[in-house]
Amino acid sequence: MSLPLRESEYAVTLKNDRLLRALLGEPVDVTPVWMMRQAGRYLPEYRATRKQAGDFLTVCKTPELACEVTMQPLRRYAFDAAILFSDILTIPDALGQGLYFSEGEGPKFHKVIRSAADVEKLPEVDIADELSYVTDAVSVIRKELNGTVPLIGFSGSPWTLATYMIEGGSSKDFRIAKQFMYDNPEAMHLLLEKLADSVTDYLNAQIRAGAQAVQIFDTWGGILSGNAYREFSLNYMTKIVSKLQKENEGRRVPVIIFTKNGGQWLESIADSGCDAIGLDWTTEIGDARSRVGGRVALQGNMDPTILYASPAVIREEVATILKSFGSGEGHVFNLGHGITPEVNPDHVSHFVEAVHEYSEQYHR
Amino acid sequence: MSLPLRESEYAVTLKNDRLLRALLGEPVDVTPVWMMRQAGRYLPEYRATRKQAGDFLTVCKTPELACEVTMQPLRRYAFDAAILFSDILTIPDALGQGLYFSEGEGPKFHKVIRSAADVEKLPEVDIADELSYVTDAVSVIRKELNGTVPLIGFSGSPWTLATYMIEGGSSKDFRIAKQFMYDNPEAMHLLLEKLADSVTDYLNAQIRAGAQAVQIFDTWGGILSGNAYREFSLNYMTKIVSKLQKENEGRRVPVIIFTKNGGQWLESIADSGCDAIGLDWTTEIGDARSRVGGRVALQGNMDPTILYASPAVIREEVATILKSFGSGEGHVFNLGHGITPEVNPDHVSHFVEAVHEYSEQYHR
C-alpha cells in the first residue's frame, strides 16, 4: 500500500461538511450527528466481520477490515461523519507494552509501568511508522468515503493511556495509577510527557493521512480531583493541541477534547486551544453553552442508555437536548459516551433522524 | 432489648459536638473529621469480627456486633463522629427483595422489580419494626459512645435503592434501571414514592433511637442527566428532608445529602433543605463553597486513593483542601467516598491528625 494518497485522489469537495463547520461554529442547515463507537457490536454486520477476522485487534490492524467496519454504520444511517475504527490503546502497544484482550475483561497489557525506571526504559519509537496500520486505514477509508462525509481520527489522552499502562488494564478505582501519581509525580510527568509526544506524532500522522478532525478521548480524566486533572491530564492535552497540524487539504482540522465526567472543568478545557468539547450526559448542554459556548463548539450529549428506551422516548430526548442548546451554531450531536452492544440498531435510526428533523428550526 | 433508651440514659452533654456544630455552620475549634466506611475492612479488628460473625449481614443484624465495629475506628483515631454500621440496602431487604452478598460481586437481590405490577406488589411494611435490628444497634451504640462523639445514622436514597432493586445488584451502566425509568416513568415514580416513605420512616426511627445527624447516600444519582437527577433522585430526597424530625434531645438533627458525582448540581441540592452537602473529590471545595457555602455546610472531600500515598502526601492534600475551603465555618472533613480495604491503617492516623492540626488556623 503506498502512502499517503495524493490529494488529487480525494474527492476535491466534501459533499457533507456539516461536522467540520459545526466544530468551528460555522452555519449549518441541520445539526450534524455521529455516535461514539458507531462502528461497534450493536451492528450484526460488525459482529460478522469481527468473527471472520478472529478477534478485535486483527480488525484494527488490517486496514481493509478497519475500513469495512468504519463504513458499516454509514450504510445504515445518515451520520455526518465517519470515525476511524481503532483502539485508544494502540500507542502503549506500539511502545512495547503488549496489548491483548481477554474475553469479558477488556484490554490488558503484558507489561506494566511501576517505577521511574520502567518509564525511562520505554523505547523511543517512530509512532507514525510503528502504527502505519492505522494511517493506512485512514487512507483506505478516505478513498472509500469518496468525499461523502469527513473522517475523524482519534487517540487516547496521555493520562488515560498512562492509567492503563500502570494498572495493566482497566480498574475500578485506579489506585495503582493514582498512587504512582501521588508518590512519584516526577516519574508520572515524565511518562505523560513521553505519551504526549507520541499522541502528537500519532494524530499528526493521522491528519497527514487524511483525518479531517481529531478527537482526544480522555476517558479517565474524570476520576481525578480538579487540581490533579489540570496538572496530569489537561496540561498534556493542551500541549498536544498546540503542536497539531492546524490545516490539511486547505481546511482547518478541528480538535475535540472529550473528558468523561469532566463537566465541572469546562472553562479550563476551553482554555486548552481545542475547537470543541465533548460532553457526557451529566452536563446540561445549555448550561455548558452559557459557560463556554462563545469560545468552543460542544459535542454531545445524550445518555447512551436512552437508546434502550422506546423510539418515542429517544426522539423526545433528542428534542430536549436540541432545545437546551438552543438556536445558533457550534453543536455536534452525539451520545455522552459510546453506544453499548445490546442496543437495537433500529433505535439508532430514530436517533439520527430525530437530530436532523428537529434541529432544522434552530439553524434559520 | 428495650427501646428506645430513655433520655436520661444518654450522657447529658455531648463532650465533642464539633460535627453537629460544623454541619450547622456554627463555630468550632478545629475542623471535625470522620470517614465514610470508617468501620471497614482496612481494619484488622473489623476483619476479625466479621470472620467471627461468619458474614457481613450478620454483623449488620446483630446490634452488639454492629456496635463493636462502629466503635473500632474510634479506639484508634480521634474521629469526631461515629457512623452506624449498617448497609444502604436494608430497606429493599425489609421490603422482601432478599438481600444477599456473593463474594467479590457485591450486593444482590433474590427478587427484582421489572414492571409496574412488581412495584404495586411491594408489601406495606412497618419499616421501623422490620428494621428494629438497626434501631437497636443505634441505641446500643449511643450507650457505648456515652456522649463522647455524636452518632450519624444513614440510609440509601430512593433512586439508589431503586437501581439495585431493578438491576438485582450493582451494574456498570444501570441500563435496566434507566430503561425502566425512561419507558415507565409512572411506575418508577411510584417505586420512588414508596421508597421515599420508607426512607423517611427509617431515618426518623434512627433519630428517635438516638442518631444525632443523618446522611442520605445517593451513590448512583450521578449517573443521571441533570434533568433526570432532579426528577428521579433529588426530588425524593427533598421530600424526605421535609419530613424528617428536626430535633431530638433538644438539639437539631442535621441532614447531609451525598450524591456521588453530583458536583454539577450543588445549587439544586442546596435547595433541598438539607443542612450539608457531601462532596466527592472531583469538586474543588473552595468552588463549591463559593457556589453554595452561604446556604449549607460542606462535607468532604479527599480522594480516598490518596490514603495509599505516603503520609507526607496525605498531609499535604489535607492542607490543600483546608486551604481551598478557607477560613470560617461549615466544613466537615471527610473522604470523597468510602475508604477502601487495602489502605494501611497507619495512614488514617496521619489523615485525622493532619485535619485537626492544620485546621486550627482557619477557626480563629
Minimum CA–CA partner of A307 in chain B: B179
Which value, to the nearest 10 degrees, does the dihedral of the CA atoms of residues A111, A115, A116, A122 take? 0
Task: Find out whether A101 and A57 touch, Cβ atoms under 8 Å.
Answer: yes
Cis peptide before B301 (omega within 30 of 0): yes
Separation CA B323–CA B260 (nearest Å): 23
Q: If you average pLDDT over residues B215-237, what whole number do you get? A: 97
- Report the interhelical angle of B235-243 vs B185-209 (nearest 10°): 30
Task: Find out whether B321 and B354 touch, Cβ atoms under 8 Å.
Answer: no
Out of B18, B21, B37, B142, which one is annotated catalytic? B37
Find the chain B residues whose C-beta atoms sit closer than 8 A to any C-beta of A.
Answer: 173-175, 178-179, 182-183, 222-229, 261, 263-264, 281-284, 287, 303-306, 308-310, 313, 317, 320, 340, 342
Write down the mean pLDDT value for chain A.
95
Residue B256: its H or E element: strand B255-259
Q: Residue A335's pLDDT is what?
A: 98
The candidate with the shortest Cα–Cα distance to A201, out of A275, A94, A121, A70, is A94
Helices within B215-325 (DSSP H only)? 226-228, 235-243, 266-270, 285-292, 311-325
Residue B299: its H or E element: strand B297-299
Instruction: Give yes or no for residue B281 having a pLDDT over 80.
Output: yes
Query: A63 or B2: whose pLDDT is higher?
Result: A63
Q: Domain spans of chain B?
A: 7-363
- Confidence class for position A105, pLDDT limits 50, 70, 90: confident
Q: Residue A25's pLDDT is what?
A: 97
Out of B46, B164, B202, B229, which one is annotated catalytic? B164
10 Å Cβ neighbour count for B327?
A: 10
Residue type (1 letter), B292: V
- Confidence class for position B237, pLDDT limits 50, 70, 90: very high
Q: Strand, coil or helix: what is B71? A: helix
Cis peptide before B73 (omega within 30 of 0): no
Residue labelled with grid coordinates 438491576: B167
Instruction: Give yes or no for residue A60 having a pLDDT over 80.
Output: yes
Q: Which of B175, B224, B305 minimises the CB distance to A308?
A: B175
Q: Residue B1's pLDDT is what?
A: 41
Instruction: Give yes or no for residue B69 having a pLDDT over 90.
Output: yes
Separation CA B130–CA B93 (nearest Å): 10
Instruction: Give yes or no for residue A5 having a pLDDT over 60.
Output: no
**Do the Cβ atoms of A282 and B305 come within 8 Å?**
no
Out of B80, B87, B136, B275, which one is annotated catalytic? B87
Instruction: Give yes or no for residue A242 having a pLDDT over 80.
Output: yes
Separation CA B249–CA B43 (nearest Å): 32
Instruction: Give yes or no for residue B4 having a pLDDT over 60.
Output: no
Q: Residue B10's pLDDT is what?
A: 47
Q: Residue A1's pLDDT is what?
A: 40
End-to-end CA distance of chain B: 45
Instruction: Give yes or no for residue B11 having a pLDDT over 80.
Output: no
What architecture is the B7-363 domain classified under in CATH? Answer: Alpha-Beta Barrel (3.20)
Going B11 to B17 to B20 to B24, the CA torsion angle's sign is: positive
- Confidence class for position A13, pLDDT limits 50, 70, 90: confident
Q: Residue A7's pLDDT is what?
A: 47
Q: Residue A12's pLDDT is what?
A: 53
Query: B191 or B2: whose pLDDT is higher?
Result: B191
- Confidence class for position A102, pLDDT limits 50, 70, 90: confident
Task: State the DSSP code for B361.
Answer: G
The candidate with the shortest Cα–Cα distance to A200, out of A220, A216, A222, is A216
In tens, the pLDDT along B336-350 reads 999 999 999 999 999
- Confidence class for position B12, pLDDT limits 50, 70, 90: low
In tens, the pLDDT along B34-60 reads 999 999 999 999 999 999 999 999 999
Going B202 to B206 to B207 to B208, the CA torsion angle's sign is: positive
- Confidence class for position B289, pLDDT limits 50, 70, 90: very high
In tens, the pLDDT along A161-182 reads 999 999 999 998 999 999 999 9
Q: Which residues of chain B are within 8 Å of residue A173 when distances are taken between CB atoms?
A: 304-305, 340
Q: Residue B102's pLDDT is what?
A: 83
Q: Which residues of chain A are within 8 Å of residue B175 when distances are taken between CB atoms?
A: 305, 308, 340, 342
Task: Find out whether B357 and B29 touch, Cβ atoms under 8 Å.
Answer: no
**Do the Cβ atoms of A175 and B264 come within 8 Å?**
no
Residue labelled with grid coordinates 518509564: A119
Q: Which residues of chain A are within 8 Å of residue B342 when distances are taken between CB atoms?
A: 175
Adjacent-strand bridge partners of B120? none
The candidate with the shortest Cα–Cα distance to A135, out of A195, A61, A194, A197, is A61
Residue labelled with grid coordinates 487540581: A227
In tens, the pLDDT along A206-239 reads 999 999 999 999 999 999 999 999 999 999 999 9
Q: Which of A225, A283, A340 minimises the CB distance to B282?
A: A225
In tens, the pLDDT along A65-83 reads 999 999 999 999 999 999 9
SS (H, E, C) A206-258: HHHHCCCEEEEEECCHHHCCHHHHHHHHHHHHHHHHHHCCCEECCEECCEEEE
Q: Which residues of chain A are within 8 Å of residue B185 when distances are taken between CB atoms?
A: none
Task: Find out whether A35 and A339 touch, Cβ atoms under 8 Å.
Answer: yes
The candidate with the shortest Cα–Cα distance to A253, out of A158, A146, A138, A161, is A138
Q: Residue A3's pLDDT is what?
A: 47
Task: Find out whether A214 and A255 touch, Cβ atoms under 8 Å.
Answer: yes
Separation CA B167–CA B135 (nearest Å): 28
Write down the mean pLDDT value for chain B.
95
Query: Percent helix, strand, coil in chain A (nearest 5)?
Result: 50, 15, 35
In tens, the pLDDT along A117-143 reads 999 999 999 999 999 999 999 999 999
Q: If you average pLDDT over residues A38-47, what whole number do you get? A: 98
From the centroid of its chain, how far is CA A17? 18
Active site residue B87: yes
If phi > 0 it is left, if psi is from -120 to 50 it is alpha, else beta; for residue A207 that is alpha
Q: If you average pLDDT over residues B308-335, what whole number do you get? A: 98
Q: Residue B111's pLDDT is what?
A: 97
The candidate with the shortest Cα–Cα distance to A150, out of A332, A285, A327, A27, is A332
Q: If you average pLDDT over residues A91-102, what whole number do you get? A: 95
ipTM of the complex: 0.92
Instruction: Give yes or no for residue B106 having a pLDDT over 80.
Output: yes
Q: If you average pLDDT over residues B223-240, what whole number do you get? A: 97
Q: Which of B179, B284, B309 minimises the CB distance to A179?
A: B309
